[in-house]
Amino acid sequence: MVTDWIKETDKFILYGAQVIAVGAYTAIKHLTGREPESFAVGKPRGIVSFPTGNPEEIEGIPVRSIEEIAKDTYIVVAVTELIQEEVLPFLRENGYKNVFALTQHEEHLLMAAYFSDVGEFPLAEKGTGADETDLMLYEVMNDRDKALSHHPKLLSYERSIQAGAMLTGMRIADITDDTGTNISERNRMYCEMTAVYWVWKNTNHSWVGIEHYRRHLLVTPDMLNEDVDVILPLPYICYPNEVSQFLRFTTEDILEALLKALKAVCPMDYDRFHEILYGKYQYTYNLVCARREVFDEYCRWFFSITEYMETLGDEFPKIRETRALSYVAEVLTNLYFMRHQKDLRICHTERAIYT
């Protein structure tokens, strides 16, 4: 694990300055007592997907340009694997040889060790449930998705569903979100959540889950037992808070609209939701596996908020004109399950990423 590698070094830096790097920093500091000399960022030439909006420092540790970092420095690459595909060759080509890539799996091992040590966000236990559990994980796809170099074969309890099928004549999955009760025509606003809406309204599995064509939630039926209500990926740690992460992708007026909707639809919980928004944890990607009744209640609550936000479209036109609600979706998923940490039995599992 990365902590073993770090213990063998005199000094190291973390490449990255967003949620993966912040989580790695927090876990490494706690588990080893070591801190990086700095965080480093840099944009490889021609790479348009590189993250923006990096802070100047994280908990007093500077964020520097990779060009300022000595070639013999030990570097932990703590960015998503989607970016590692470009960053790792960039580092090699520029003479950096002491590099540890924090893959999705390595990140999971690190954060699981950290959360276990601090007594938060327990992992789901394998082999304690029944293999014949009525489980279906729906893998959300869209005709505009980028082609993958590798895609795993779906398991018997996984099925693909095409989101936004009403907006295109192309068919890429046997199940489409434009049948039955649906909001497929609003996919430009909601992205994968139109498929979530379809699953909510048109299926009846005892356990139901949502994953993406490039991100899978590694749930197996034997994880689902009487002591579990929900399985989620481990949360990210945001710096300085979840709102700052949200505002990397959208704008202050959308945040204002979200707060207005939360206050109108669930005033009794507003203060708690506000506290979570300005907290450090965030469940991301809307990856969820839950008991049917829990999934239904989550969706009922979720879409009551977004439908209210749609009524604010005249005041906040970006709600109708952009994919703002898809960014709101991650925040809402986080708000719901962080709010219910004490009254739902929530366990966690690894997420896989495919490139």
Domain 2-118: state its class: alpha beta
C-alpha 249/C-alpha 89 separation (Å) is 27
First to last CA, the chain: 22
What is the SS3 assignment for the chain? CHHHHHHCCCCEEEECCCHHHHHHHHHHHHHHCCCCCCEEECCCCCCCCCCCCCCCEECCEEEEEHHHCCCCCEEEECCCHHHHHHHHHHHHHCCCCCEEECCHHHHHHHHHHHHHHHCCCCECCCCCCCCCCCEEEEEEECCCCCCCCCCCCCCCCEEEEECCHHHCCCCCCCEECCCCCCCHHHHHHHCCHHHHHHHHHHCCCCEEEEEECCEEECCCHHHCCCCCCEEEECCEECCCCHHHHHCCCCCHHHHHHHHHHHHHHCHHHHHHHHHHHCCCEECCCCCEEEEHHHHHHHHHHHHHHHHHHHHCCCCCCHHHHCCHHHHHHHHHHHHHHHHCCCCCCEEEECEEECC
Report field, pTM of the whole predicted structure over 0.75: yes
Per residue in 5-14, pLDDT (tens digit) is 999 999 999 9
Confidence of residue 343 (pLDDT cuts 50, 70, 90): very high
Give the count of alpha carbons within 13 A of 210, CB side only: 26
Mean pLDDT, rounded, for 18-46: 91
C-alpha 131/C-alpha 22 separation (Å) is 37
38: left (phi over 0), alpha (psi -120 to 50) or beta: beta
Contact yes or no for 41/73 (Cβ under 8 A):
no
* Closest of 145, 177, 146 to residue 163, by C-alpha: 177
Confidence of residue 130 (pLDDT cuts 50, 70, 90): confident
Confidence of residue 129 (pLDDT cuts 50, 70, 90): confident
Contact yes or no for 350/218 (Cβ under 8 A):
yes
Confidence of residue 132 (pLDDT cuts 50, 70, 90): confident
Residues written for the chain: 355
**Whole-number mean pLDDT of the chain?**
95
Whole-number percent of the chain with pLDDT over 70: 97
> Looking at residue 131, what is its pLDDT?
75
> Looking at residue 51, what is its pLDDT?
46
206 contact partners, CB below 8 Å, separation of at least 6 = 133, 134, 135, 291, 292
C-alpha 176/C-alpha 166 separation (Å) is 9
Mean pLDDT, rounded, for 84-101: 94
214 contact partners, CB below 8 Å, separation of at least 6 = 145, 146, 148, 353, 354, 355
Instruction: Say yes or no to pLDDT of 286 above 50.
Output: yes
CA distances from 128 to 109, 124, 125, 131, 298 (A): 21, 9, 7, 9, 25
> Who has greater pLDDT, 320 or 49?
320
> Looking at residue 44, what is its pLDDT?
52
Mean pLDDT, rounded, for 41-50: 57
Contact yes or no for 154/169 (Cβ under 8 A):
no
Mean pLDDT, rounded, for 101-122: 98
> Looking at residue 52, what is its pLDDT?
58
Where in the sequence of the chain do the CATH 3.40.50.720 domains occur? 2-118
> Looking at residue 48, what is its pLDDT?
44
Per residue in 161-194, pLDDT (tens digit) is 999 999 999 999 999 999 999 999 999 999 999 9
